[in-house]
Amino acid sequence: MARPRLVWQLYPTYLIIALVSLLVVGLFAAGSVERVLERQAAIGLERQAAVLRELLTDESRTIDPPTADSLAAVVGELTGYQIVIMTRSGRPVGFSGGAPSELPRLADMPEIITALGGAVGVESRRDPIVGKRMIYCALPIGDDQGLIGVIRAGVETTAIEQSMSQVYWQLGLGSVGMILLVSLVSLYVARRLARPLELIRQGAALVAKGDLTYRLPVADSEEIGSLAEAINFMSAELADRIRIVTQQRNEQEAILASMIEGVVAVDGGDRLINLNRTAGTLLNVRPEQALGRPIHEVVRNSQLLRLLEKTRGSTGPVEEEIVMTTPRREEIFLQAHGSPLLDSESKPLGVVLVFNDVTRIRRLENVRREFVANVSHELRTPLTSVKGYLETIIDGGIDSPEDQRRFLGVIARQVDRLNAIIEDLLSLSRIEQRVERAQIDLSPGSVAEVCRGAVRERADMAAERNVVLECDFDDEQTTIPMNPSLLQQALVNLIDNAIKYGPEDSIVRITSRRDGHFLTISVSDRGPGIPEEHRERIFERFYRVDKGRSRESGGTGLGLAIVKHIALAHRGAVTVESGPEVGTSFSIRLPLAVRRQAS
């Protein structure tokens, strides 16, 4: 809704004040004239009544009714006044307008009551007998010896009303001229007052929009000029303060945004007052949507809320580890540090929480513990077997040469298994070290040759289980940056697993397909498939889906881990697709060209 301009607020005010003043003065003047005219009429009535009183008063101290009636008629006819003469008891004995008996009771009239009290009574009212407004004046008749009657003279106010009509007409004409003059003067004064204020308003609007370089013109008047100077000074000071605050805020936001730690600040009512980008990522919230809301509405984690209350009630830093659950039902571990938020006077304002994502560290610790446990278990099993058979042979518990050869054969197989585990561990360690140090040389090589080399290496193993190895390449000439020996080792491991865990008399297919800027090499079998709950962990060291069958087949549990690290060494990745009826397909996705890393 549009608001009226100041000039149209001031102008009606001045105009109304002037018109009200003019109206009051006019009404007061008209009232004064009317009162003067009524007073003059009352004086004339009083004089005429006094003359009649002198004529009626005699030594007998009585009023002769016939005389009183005739005098009232004569005087009323000559003057036009209404004359009433009555005795002290209130009985009319003389009336200019007819027989006294025709008059109603007048003793209760205010002017009669005043006259009966010995004073002059004057009253103005509408008379029901004549049907017009009348002015009455009543005088007592008597002397020092006592009151003998009352004489009342009355006159119509028609002449006064006619005079007042002329007065009102003249006042109306004068008022119209005064209204025009007052309107022009009021408009001029309103514009003169509103113009500097309008300039100040426009300047303040520019300042509010951010134009802090604008300066208001200084008016001649002391008050408005001082206001303009104050606003100009305020603009200059505000520009300096905004520049400083903006610089500090930008520095603070840059620091918070670049921090790898999550920072959360809440006020005394647990409402979020600050939340950097890292904290939003860790807590799975959007900072722009979370600010100003209670933290328990944004983050539903009982550990975090307990830490908040614990920090609020402490006098120093508090440290705890919090476990959060992502939308994917994954757990992340946060090392949380809480401290009270204090103002410059050390009064509590809220709480500051700082989060460090230690999920990778915790997972590495778990992997290390599992790795140590798995290595210990994998090495202990063949060593225990070797030790048991050797102790049996040393104790002389075997006399038959055939049993000795069988025992020694088992020992040899267990030693081969130990050697395979150690070789795979060393191979995995070498690959990881070379990847970390960027020491793996990649050069263009033929994918088809590497795949056929891996097939030739496992041809005998496939023949033992009557498995057919098929190769299908969409382009025999495709080359990619590779380390041929490592890539062939990865494919050998995948083909090895496909032969071991696939059914006999089946087909293992090795394919390569171009996909944009990538090449995907897949090894597919028709085996029983891998349950979904195992697919995310099969690339971990020593992780087995079927531990008993894996050991029986001679596997070390490190083959897929080696494949994963070889794919990473080629700037690629390995994935698995599996189903209970479609078998399993491992795919190595490699870039057709490797970007050079900045030195």
User: pLDDT of 504-514, one tens digit each?
Assistant: 888 899 998 88
Q: Could you give the angle at the alpha carbon of 84 between the alpha carbons of 80 and 89, nearest 5°?
A: 175
Question: Does residue 222 carry a pLDDT above 70?
Answer: no
Give the pLDDT of residue 377: 60
Please give the biggest Cα pair distance in the chain: 189
Q: Residue 156, by phi and psi: left (phi above 0), alpha (psi -120 to 50) or beta?
A: beta
Mean pLDDT of the chain: 78
Burial of 44 (0-12, 13-18, 19+ CB in 10 A): middle
Whether 362 contacts 333, CB under 8 Å: yes
- Please state, in angstroms and as integers, the Cα–Cα distance from residue 357 to each residue in 126, 310, 380, 564, following that order: 101, 21, 36, 25
**What pTM does this model have?**
0.43
Whether 19 contacts 179, CB under 8 Å: yes
Give the pLDDT of residue 60: 54
Whether 585 contacts 577, CB under 8 Å: yes
The pLDDT tens digits of the residues spanning 338-390 come to 888 887 777 878 888 888 888 888 777 776 666 666 666 666 667 777 777 77
Going by the DSSP 8-state scheme, the letter that residue 101 receives in this structure is G
pLDDT-wise least confident of 347-351, 389-393, 523-527, 552-556: 552-556
Give the pLDDT of residue 548: 47
Q: Which residues pair with 213 in a beta bridge?
A: none
Whether 355 contacts 262, CB under 8 Å: yes
Whether 260 contacts 278, CB under 8 Å: yes
Give the pLDDT of residue 598: 39
The pLDDT tens digits of the residues spanning 98-123 come to 777 777 777 788 888 888 888 888 88
Q: Could you give the angle at the alpha carbon of 178 between the alpha carbons of 176 and 181, nearest 5°?
A: 110
Residues in the chain: 599
- Please state, in angstroms and as integers, the Cα–Cα distance from residue 30 to each residue in 25, 37, 524, following that order: 8, 11, 117
Alpha-carbon distance 336 to 306, whole Å?
Answer: 12
SS3 track for 263-326:
EEEEECCCEEEEECHHHHHHHCCCHHHHCCCEHHHHCCCHHHHHHHHHHHCCCCCEEEEEEEEC
Give the pLDDT of residue 569: 82
Give the pLDDT of residue 372: 62
- Please state, in angstroms and as integers, the Cα–Cα distance from residue 222 to each residue in 189, 217, 231, 285, following that order: 17, 13, 14, 56
Give the pLDDT of residue 398: 67
For the beta carbon of residue 130, count every other beta carbon within 10 angstroms. 12
Alpha-carbon distance 479 to 394, whole Å?
Answer: 57
Around 67, how many Cα atoms within 13 Å sit in the side-chain half-sphere? Answer: 10
Give the pLDDT of residue 547: 53
Question: Does residue 497 carry a pLDDT above 60?
Answer: yes
- Mean pLDDT, residues 166-185 taken together: 78
Going by the DSSP 8-state scheme, the letter that residue 585 receives in this structure is E
C-alpha torsion angle, residues 586, 541, 361, 324 (rounded to 10):
60
Return the structure tokens found at 202.
């426009």
Query: Which of 48-52, 323-327, 415-419, 517-521 has maximum average pLDDT?
Result: 517-521
Going by the DSSP 8-state scheme, the letter that residue 502 receives in this structure is S
- Please state, in angstroms and as integers, the Cα–Cα distance from residue 567 to each residue in 364, 367, 435, following that order: 20, 20, 10
Query: What is the DSSP pairing of strand 507-515 with strand 468-473?
Result: parallel
- Please state, in angstroms and as integers, the Cα–Cα distance from residue 451 to each residue in 455, 483, 498, following that order: 6, 13, 14
Give the strand order in the sheet containing 146-156: 92-95, 82-87, 146-156, 132-143, 121-127
Alpha-carbon distance 487 to 494, whole Å?
Answer: 11
For the beta carbon of residue 524, count every other beta carbon within 10 angstroms. 22
Return the structure tokens found at 245.
């605050």
Q: Which of 498, 569, 487 is nearest to 521 (CA)?
A: 487
Alpha-carbon distance 271 to 265, whole Å?
Answer: 8
Q: For tokens 């005043």, name the residue.
A: 114
Return the structure tokens found at 400.
């038959």
For the beta carbon of residue 116, count every other beta carbon within 10 angstroms. 19
Give the pLDDT of residue 48: 83
Q: Which residues pair with 332 in a beta bridge?
A: 324
Whether 156 contacts 130, CB under 8 Å: yes
